[in-house]
Structure 1
């Protein structure tokens, strides 16, 4: 196949729609998923590469990979990304391209205009925040529902598809690196006839963590309890994902910091609210769907909380 012909466009999503509907091309690859600026399409042995120079790869990675934002992070506005899903970037700057953390919303209910695809990633997980989403994964059997508190680890290049969603469903997705290619799978149909839940995909194993089956354990300091998703072992230590909740305050409760072998943790507030002392000269209130980061040297204390629960991803 010849080298793809590059075509400049103002809006990649609109250009994909035009080339596929009017000219018979098929989509092969898109990047990045949250706000595409590049797409590869093909037709009868010919390839075209759609490019938009205003994409987030040029403007959305201003952060330093080694410098964490402090305090409550003011996340960005909702934008429309791949397959019509709405994305809210939780970490502006994306730590210099190190990772992307997205709050994703499926505003419309019913069938999702998705397709079987896979991602060129080192790590990727999905956590259901609200609603219900029906998904299917390669070698993992029949489609199933993700409900609030459920979590999946998507190993690198596992084929999968979002099938259906309740209106207003929301998930948190974290992936490394921040910019990665999403490829369309034209050959493999899902669900696959073979079921192999222990299959290893590029060194990692698929995980489905179901909230109703979570086992809660007390933290060492007694102020928190946590539920492990099993992602640490399935990724061979690439990332650790737990849900924490406060079970008592009793004065200042020290925040759970990243394990010694991890660089930092992302905290996404699932419910409740809290007053947190980031030791930066004041008390900060945080609420549901806020996000903040902490490294192993952080000095952060809870000074008040109400029904507080958070998703914690340690990298």
Structure 2
């Protein structure tokens, strides 16, 4: 689709004047680690934090062990939080949302940023892409479930 309106900035640009750097992350050179929120999963940084100066983070997350317990109610101080399921399934509960929210391979979700949630189930083969703003954020546990889950 071509836009006939006014562009947001002067362009086209030379590579040296681009708004973000050129960066390629090769799957064969991927580094997986367990430095995320969950001990039953491993994480791969997809490089967006580095090229956006921390504005956006993206990671590939995959299950390592069977899911034994819900994560518990928690929230993140993000301004945006997106999830895309590559493989498997995951079930959430969200504050203010009635019923379980289940995502399957090919489904995506804009998680309401800052809203408490609880992962109550996931398949043993779960793989997701998570995109968040900002790249670095905090996570806080709730002492009790929020409505309507009290």
TM range, normalised to the smaller chain?
0.7 to 0.9
Question: Does 2:36 align with 1:79?
Answer: no
Mapped to 2, the partners of 1:112 and 1:94 lie a distance apart of 35
Instruction: Tell me if structure 2 keeps the 8 A contact 1:160–1:190.
Output: no
Between 1 and 2, higher relative CO (CA 8 Å, sep ≥ 6) is seen in 2
Provide Cα deviations, 1:15-42, integer angstroms capped at 9, x if missing partner: xxxxxxxxxxxxxxxxxxxxxxxxxxxx
Q: Which residue of 2 aligns with 1:180?
A: 137
Instruction: Tell me if structure 2 keeps the 8 A contact 1:115–1:162.
Output: yes
Question: Does 2:22 align with 1:69?
Answer: yes
Mapped to 1, the partners of 2:70 and 2:37 lie a distance apart of 9
* C-alpha distance 133-191 of structure 1, shift in aligned 2 (>3 A): farther
Instruction: Tell me if structure 2 keeps the 8 A contact 1:117–1:159.
Output: yes
Provide Cα deviations, 1:54-101, integer angstroms capped at 9, x if missing partner: xxxxxxxxxxxx42324x423641111112121110116252211110
Instruction: Tell me if structure 2 keeps the 8 A contact 1:116–1:190.
Output: no
Q: Which residue of 1 aligns with 2:63?
A: 106
User: What secondary structure sits across from 2:38 in the alignment?
Assistant: helix
Larger C-alpha radius of gyration, 1 or 2? 1
Per residue, is there more strand in 1 or in 2? 1
Provide Cα deviations, 1:242-291, integer angstroms capped at 9, x if missing partner: xxxxxxxxxxxxxxxxxxxxxxxxxxxxxxxxxxxxxxxxxxxxxxxxxx
* C-alpha distance 79-94 of structure 1, shift in aligned 2 (>3 A): farther
TM-score normalised by length of structure 1: 0.37
Instruction: Tell me if structure 1 keeps the 8 A contact 2:42–2:63.
Output: yes
- Following superposition, the deviation at residue 115 of structure 1 comes to 1.7
Q: Which residue of 1 aligns with 2:13?
A: none
Mapped to 2, the partners of 1:192 and 1:101 lie a distance apart of 30
Mapped to 1, the partners of 2:127 and 2:148 lie a distance apart of 23
Q: Which residue of 2 aligns with 1:170?
A: 127
* C-alpha distance 152-69 of structure 1, shift in aligned 2 (>3 A): same
* C-alpha distance 142-149 of structure 1, shift in aligned 2 (>3 A): same
- C-alpha RMSD of the superposition: 2.3
User: What secondary structure sits across from 2:21 in the alignment?
Assistant: coil
User: What secondary structure sits across from 1:188 in the alignment?
Assistant: coil
- State the aligned residue count: 128
- Following superposition, the deviation at residue 183 of structure 1 comes to 1.1
Mapped to 2, the partners of 1:190 and 1:118 lie a distance apart of 14
TM-score normalised by length of structure 2: 0.74
| Structure 1 gaps, min length 5 | 1-65, 194-315
Instruction: Tell me if structure 2 keeps the 8 A contact 1:134–1:163.
Output: yes
- Following superposition, the deviation at residue 126 of structure 1 comes to 0.7
